[in-house]
Amino acid sequence: MLKIAVVLLSGITIGALLRKHPVSILPKIIMVLVWVLLFSIGVEVGSDPRIIGHLHDLGLEALVLTLAGLAGSIGTAFALWKYANRRTGR
């Protein structure tokens, strides 16, 4: 948690120092890092027999709970979006 914040803040500092020389290749690097991250999450899931062995029954339960939570939070976010846009008249 703290490490993540430190890494983020040092990136922001360096980015601010480089303002006169924008790093245009950055979006591509970020995309590749997202691929690496998803691949390694996949490896962690695939190599854990506790998860793979129970995917069929526990997975369905997890999916149902996730969809319910997502639907609820997207609903409240949509309500806030509507409320904020109406009041500011955007």
C-alpha 83/C-alpha 51 separation (Å) is 41
Query: Rule CB under 8 A: is residue 89 a binding residue for other proteins?
Result: no
- Find the shortest distance in angstroms from Cβ 32 to other proteins: 9
Residue list 27-56, contact with other proteins (CB under 8 A): 27, 29-31, 33-48, 50-52, 54-55
- Find the shortest distance in angstroms from Cβ 9 to other proteins: 7
Identify residue 74 by its one-letter amino acid code.
I
Q: Token pair for residue 49?
A: 């027999």
The structure tokens 């506790």 sit at: 50
Nearest alpha-carbon partner for 33 in 21, 23, 45, 25: 25
